[in-house]
Amino acid sequence: MVRRSTILIIATLLAGCSALPEQPADRRDTAADRAARRDTASTQPTLGRPPPRSGADAQCLSGLVRMGARYDSLPDRYLGQGCSNLNTVQLANVPSDGATLSVTNIGPVTCEVSQVFAAWARYGVDRAARQILGSPLRSIETMGSYSCRNVAGSGRRSGHATGAAIDVAGFVLEDGRRIMVTSAWHGGSERERRFLRTVQASACKRFDTVLGPDYNSAHADHLHVEGVIGETSYCR
C-alpha cells in the first residue's frame, strides 16, 4: 500500500510539472488577434522593393514605353520646403521618326512632362529640323530639370522644384551642326532663327508654360518648358 501510494503521488507531481499554465483571458491568441497580425503585415513595406505606383502613375510609365522612350524610374522623394521628386524618371533617349534622340544633362522629370517632351522632340523638333534645316535631329542639349529653387525674383517655387520643367539649351543635328539658343536666337542664320521660333511655337501647343529669350534676360540662353498644357497656358 505504501508503494502504491508513493507511485500515485509521483505520477501526480509529474503531470503537474508537464502541464503548461493556462494563459489569462486577456493574453489568449484569438482568431481576431491572428487576423489583425495578417492585416498589419500586409501593410508593411517590403525591404528592398520600392512602394507600388498608383494606377495613374503606372499607366504613365507604360505610355512612355509605348512611345519608345528609354528611361529609369526614380524613387519618390520629399525634399522639403516645397521641393519633391514624385513619379519622376531619368530620360536616356526619346524616339524620332526613324531613330532615337539622346537627351543630355537632364535630371529627374515627372512622367507626364516626360511624355510631352518626348512627343515634342519627335513631332515638333525633329520634323522641323528636317523641313527647315535639311537634317534630322541627333540630340537635345538641356541645362537640367529638377532644382529646388524659386522663380527668379519671387517667393514662389519654380516648376523645377518638382521636376516639372526642363531648360533646353539647343539642338544637335545629324550633320553635326549645333543650333544653340544663346547664339542662334538673334545671331544665327535666317533658317536657324526660324527653326528655333518654330520649335518654340510647337512647345507652346504642348506645355503649360514656355519661356524664351523674348521673355527676359534670364532666359536668353534657353527655352524653359514646363507642365502639361491645360485650360490656360503662358507662352513668351
**Per-residue pLDDT at 54:** 74
**Per-residue pLDDT at 53:** 62
What span, in angstroms and rounded, lies between the C-alpha atoms of 35 and 42?
Answer: 11
Q: How far is CA 69 from CA 64, 72, 101, 126, in A?
A: 6, 10, 9, 15
**Per-residue pLDDT at 55:** 84
User: Over the chain (236 residues), what is each successive 10-residue block's mean pLDDT?
Assistant: 43 41 44 43 34 77 95 93 95 94 97 98 98 98 97 91 98 98 97 98 97 95 95 85
**Per-residue pLDDT at 4:** 47
**Per-residue pLDDT at 195:** 98
What is the helix, strand, coil percentage profile of the chain, to 5?
40, 25, 35
Q: What angle do CA 57, 60, 66 make, to 5 degrees?
A: 145
What span, in angstroms and rounded, lies between the C-alpha atoms of 214 and 223?
Answer: 10
**Per-residue pLDDT at 213:** 97
Q: All domains of the chain, ordered by start, with CATH?
A: 70-235 (3.30.1380)
Query: How many beta carbons lie within 10 A of that of residue 227, not counting itself?
Result: 20
